Amino acid sequence: MKKLSLLIVITFSFFCVALAQKKDSLALKTKKTGFRLSKYRLPNDTSNLQTPKQAVYRSFILPGWGQYKNGKWWKVPLVPAGFVGIALVFNFNNKLYQQTLTELQFRANNPGETQDPEFPIQIRSEQLVQAKDYYRRNRDLSILGGLLFYGIVAIDAYVDARLARFNVDENLSFTLKPSIYVPSLAGNFGTPIPMIKLTVRL
C-alpha cells in the first residue's frame, strides 16, 4: 500500500512538472518542483488614481466628485438623484405639516370654524394633531436620511479608492508539491507517509 502511494505521488509530481512547462496565464513554472496557479493580476500603476483621503475630501466638498475621480461613471448620476428624491420627500411632508399646523392654529383662535377646505369641520382637532406630528416626524427623518446619504457617498468613494490601489500580484497563489509527512506519537516518530503539500500565499 505504501509503495502504491509513493508511486502515485511520484507520478503526480512528474505530471505537475510537465504542466509547469506550459507558460500561460494560469500555470507558471516555479523554482521548486510543482506548479502554481496564479490569480488574475490587476495593473499596479496607481499614479493616476486619487488617494482614499482625497476621495473623502472631494466627496464632502461636492458629492459625486469622488466617484468621478475613481472612474465610477455610472455612480455619478445616482448621487444627485438620491438628493433630489430626499428633497422631494422633505418638501412633501413639510408642506402637509405646515398646512395642518396652520389649520390647528386657526381653530384654536376660532372655535367651531375651519379655514382650509381640505379639513372640514368633521375632522376633529385631535386627528389634525396626529397628522401634524406624523408629517413633522417624516420631515425630520428625511433630513437625517439626507445626512446619512451624504456620508454614504463619501464612504463609497473611500472604499473604491482603497480597492483601486489594492496591490494584487503573483504572490496571491497556491502551490502544490510532493512532500513526506512523518507522524509523531508520544515522542516516537512513525512511518513516513508520502503526501501532497498545499501552500497558500496571501
Cell numbers found for residue 200:
497558500
Site of grid cell 412633501 = 92
For residue range 59-104, list pLDDT tens digits in order: 999 999 999 998 888 999 999 999 999 999 999 999 999 999 999 9
Q: What is the DSSP letter of 25?
A: S
For residue range 167-190, list pLDDT tens digits in order: 555 555 667 778 777 766 655 566
Q: Per-residue pLDDT for 2 more than 90?
A: no
Q: Name which of 163, 160, 100, 107 is nearest 130 in CA terms.
A: 100
Q: Which residues of 26-50 are buried (b: 16+ CB within 10 A; e: fewer)?
A: ebeeeeeebbbebeeeeeeeeeebb
Q: Name which of 158, 159, 150 is nearest 80 in CA terms.
A: 150
Share of the chain above pLDDT 70, in %: 66
Which residue ranges make up each domain of the chain? 2-44+168-201, 52-164
Instruction: Let me know: does 96 contact 185? Beta carbons within 8 Å.
Output: no
* Bridge partners, 185 (sequence order): 188
Q: Could you give the C-alpha distances from 55 to 43, 71, 83, 120, in angstroms and in order?
A: 20, 11, 19, 54
